[in-house]
């Protein structure tokens, strides 16, 4: 029996501008009141996530960091169910006042929706 690794190493992150641009050019979208997620198929055998939490939407760095930590944690737990997709997460203003549990539920729905949409591509 193999044990799953729930780490978040650098290979699971989008870091370069070209990687983000690739997702922004022709994305599959998933939107609700807290987040907009953009995704594309990738050539890698594992999912990668990038965060684009705008200062214009969430003014204080403390609040942006809380949202980022919530997104990373949700992704870290769900990464084994995703396959090879690249995802960019954009936060909306409503995410600022939302409780962490609501953000996690929202993200779980987004992960499932994007996996099913990207599988059909």
The residue range of the domain holding 62 is 10-113
Residue 7: partners with Cβ closer than 8 Å, 6 or more residues away: 76
Q: Does a structural domain hold residue 118?
A: no
Whether the predicted pLDDT of 3 surpasses 80:
no
Q: How confident is the model at residue 121 (pLDDT cuts 50, 70, 90)?
A: low
Q: Does a structural domain hold residue 60?
A: yes
For the chain, the domain total comes to 1
Query: pTM to 2 decimals?
Result: 0.91
Q: Does a structural domain hold residue 20?
A: yes
Q: How far apart are CA 119 and CA 116, in angstroms?
A: 5
* Tens of pLDDT, residues 31-67: 999 999 999 998 888 899 999 999 999 999 999 999 9
pLDDT of residue 2: 56
User: What burial letters (b/e) apply to 97-115, b meaning 16+ CB within 10 Å?
Assistant: ebeeeebbebbeebbebbb
pLDDT of residue 1: 45
Q: What is the DSSP letter of 2?
A: P
pLDDT of residue 56: 94
Q: How far apart are CA 114 and CA 120, in angstroms?
A: 10
Q: Does a structural domain hold residue 48?
A: yes
Q: How far apart are CA 103 and CA 95, in angstroms?
A: 7
Q: Does a structural domain hold residue 121?
A: no
């Amino acid at each position: 029996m193999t044990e799953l690794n729930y780490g978040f190493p650098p290979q699971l992150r989008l870091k370069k501008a070209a990687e983000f641009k690739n997702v922004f050019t022709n994305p599959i979208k998933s939107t609700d009141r807290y987040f907009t997620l953009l995704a594309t198929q990738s050539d890698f055998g594992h999912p990668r996530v990038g965060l684009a939490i705008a200062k214009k939407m969430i003014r204080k760095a403390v609040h942006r960091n809380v949202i980022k930590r919530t997104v990373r944690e949700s992704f870290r737990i769900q990464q084994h169910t995703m396959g090879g997709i690249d995802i960019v997460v954009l936060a909306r203003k409503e995410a600022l006042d939302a409780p962490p549990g609501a953000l996690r539920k929202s993200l779980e729905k987004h992960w499932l929706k994007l996996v099913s949409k990207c599988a059909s591509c």
